[in-house]
A and B are shown apart, each in its own frame.
Chain A
């Protein structure tokens, strides 16, 4: 095991981890604001990936330009999902809250299979390279880094910083955080909690959508891609503490390492087992996440 190999593993893990983190942040926002777990999380990502593919193959728009369009579509899809499905079950028992997103998962995944067939697709190189600018590999002290992955990582990081700043600096962001902390008190000071819930769904689905666009530049696109990423997101968010954005980033890096190391040291099939073992240990040892932060 030489230095270049170690470097290769570390860099691959960090690059993957950043994109994983952005996907997981979407789950974390919805959980943080309204303590609601969306089991169809990865399926929204699947949809964003197919949108990216469609924008390129049908309209010829490269992913980096179709990203804002996909983000807007996914935002309204999140808001629509909240209005149509989530709002009606909020007053019901917890069982209904879990079951409704399972129904959504079954619906989206299988409509995906009907509409797009089970074939694996990927974006052609000319879609991701943007005129040769981001094509090929970059040599970093003997480690080879695909430039598309680097771009995806940087954009994920920028996006996470933007979301974090939105939560910290804007009035709406502060209102969202207030709702997360105490919804009764927020109502008393005049925050429209229903609107905040709606916004958290819009933003959460937007984040997973942007993550999906970035992922689609170097990952296969198929209708069942969602499940693994839903589970990865659960693991990441649990590691980082539900509702914490930077916790999710660190969780993303941990899962990125588990993913790459599990694939390199053991066999690709064990990647998930490695990530999951870490998850079980953390759940049992620190159910509130490695960095606290989230509500119990």
Chain B
């Protein structure tokens, strides 16, 4: 146990000092993307891992919040920090509304429904001229300012990302070790049995959904402010929904560290393959697909199982189905 804490402290210190130790902006970019997807994978983990509701449409909540903060900033010059709060609230609200009809559906039906609703809304937003339609919205380049959530250096984004990763991990820790976590695991294992014990599945799934969509919304605003551009095909792309789910699943859904491990393996791999193979080619995503298939066949519970074998102790409560 002591060694475990020691290792964790070292990892934490490493990431705190990383921008000081390494000056290469490309490294800062890769680690920022890692943070972004770590937040997303942890967010997805609450609903997909602990509650076992396999949503493949989380790009919707990412996009809703990115659009709200960007629209308010560009049109009314509202600080993106306020946009962040409003965006997160809106993402959680949309998640709640999507959950109302869809949480009655099980397994594949739920997965299909969540993909469909996101794709349908993406198609509508592409036609909605008020918020940029198929052109998207550009955030103008302005001098670095905290209030405007914009810096010319990548380092402030890095630390904001790190802070949100820590908060997402903390939220997962709280979920795992609370009554909510037990209820969610009960619902995941057997919903009718959970119902017969007096757990209201809809209520707890909705709570998990609100937490999950809220954190997805945080990542959405962070991404919009980092790239200074929102477009239906960038912030609501199906690839975002799939990536966040796959990172959590490849790493080990239903554990605190699993989604981080998934992001830590897949994001650097993705960024490095992009550099070597080229941004325009899609070969890196194809290779990524092969890795996903291999993990699904050989270690469906996620890579974290190997960590469990090395540490010789259980790493998470929600791992087994």
Binding site for B on A (CB under 8 A): 37, 85, 88-89, 92-96, 98-100, 102-111, 113-114, 227, 231, 234-235, 238, 267, 269-273, 276-277, 279-280, 283-284, 287
Contact = CB atoms under 8 A, between A and B. Distances in A.
28 contacts: A88-B297, A92-B296, A92-B300, A95-B321, A98-B108, A99-B250, A99-B292, A99-B295, A100-B292, A102-B292, A106-B289, A109-B285, A111-B282, A113-B281, A114-B281, A114-B282, A227-B119, A238-B109, A269-B126, A269-B127, A270-B124, A272-B119, A272-B120, A279-B113, A280-B101, A283-B109, A284-B104, A287-B105
Which 8 pairs show the lowest CB-CB distances between chains A and B?
Answer: A106-B289, A103-B292, A96-B300, A107-B289, A103-B293, A110-B282, A110-B286, A92-B300
A102 B123 CA distance: 22
A277 B120 contact: yes
B293 A104 contact: yes
A234 B301 CA distance: 27
Given A93-B300, A283-B105, 14 more contacts: A85-B297, A89-B296, A96-B300, A100-B293, A100-B297, A102-B246, A103-B293, A110-B286, A111-B283, A114-B282, A231-B119, A269-B123, A272-B123, A283-B102
A106 B286 contact: yes
A247 to B, nearest CB: 16
Contact of A231 (B115, B283, B286): B115
A88 B292 CA distance: 14
B242 interface: yes
B107 interface: yes
B124 A94 contact: no
Contact of A107 (B109, B293, B295): B293
Interface string B266-297: 00000000000000011101101111110111
Interface in B113-130: 113, 115-117, 119-121, 123-124, 126-127
Given A283-B101, A283-B113, A267 B283 contact: no
A244 B301 CA distance: 33
A270 B289 contact: no
Contacts of A99: 246, 249-250, 292, 295-296, 300
Contact of B123 (A238, A270, A280): A270
Contacts of A109: 282, 285
Say whether chain B's binding surface is mostly helix, strand, loop, or mixed: helix
B109 A287 contact: yes
B107 A96 contact: no
Interface of B: 54, 56, 101-102, 104-105, 107-109, 111-113, 115-117, 119-121, 123-124, 126-127, 238, 242, 245-246, 249-250, 253, 281-283, 285-286, 288-293, 295-297, 300-301, 321
Contacts of B123: 269-273
B143 to A, nearest CB: 37
Contacts of B292: 99-100, 102-103, 106
A226 to B, nearest CB: 12
Contacts of B282: 109-111, 113-114
Nearest to B277: A114
A49 B91 CA distance: 38
A20 to B, nearest CB: 15
A234 B102 CA distance: 15
Contacts of B321: 93-95
A267 B124 CA distance: 10
Nearest to B110: A283
Contacts of A283: 101-102, 105, 109, 113
Nearest to B239: A106
Contacts of B242: 102, 106
Contacts of B300: 89, 92-93, 95-96, 99
Contact of B296 (A103, A110, A234, A270): A103
Nearest to B116: A276
B116 A103 contact: no
B54 A95 contact: yes
B283 A114 contact: yes
A98 B321 CA distance: 14
B54 A103 contact: no
B115 A85 contact: no
Interface centre among B104, B107, B116, B321 (most CB of A within 10 A): B116
A98 B120 contact: no
Contacts of A111: 282-283, 286
Nearest to A233: B112
A102 B226 CA distance: 28
A283 B106 CA distance: 11
Contacts of B56: 102
A94 B127 contact: no
Contacts of B253: 95
Contact of A37 (B108, B113, B288, B289): B108
Nearest to B243: A106
B104 A287 contact: yes
B105 A96 contact: no
A97 to B, nearest CB: 8
Contacts of A277: 120
B45 to A, nearest CB: 12
A226 B207 CA distance: 34
A96 B296 contact: yes
Contacts of A108: 289
Nearest to B100: A284
Nearest to B108: A37
Nearest to A230: B115
Most buried by B among A89, A108, A276, A284: A276
A289 B173 CA distance: 40
A104 B119 contact: no
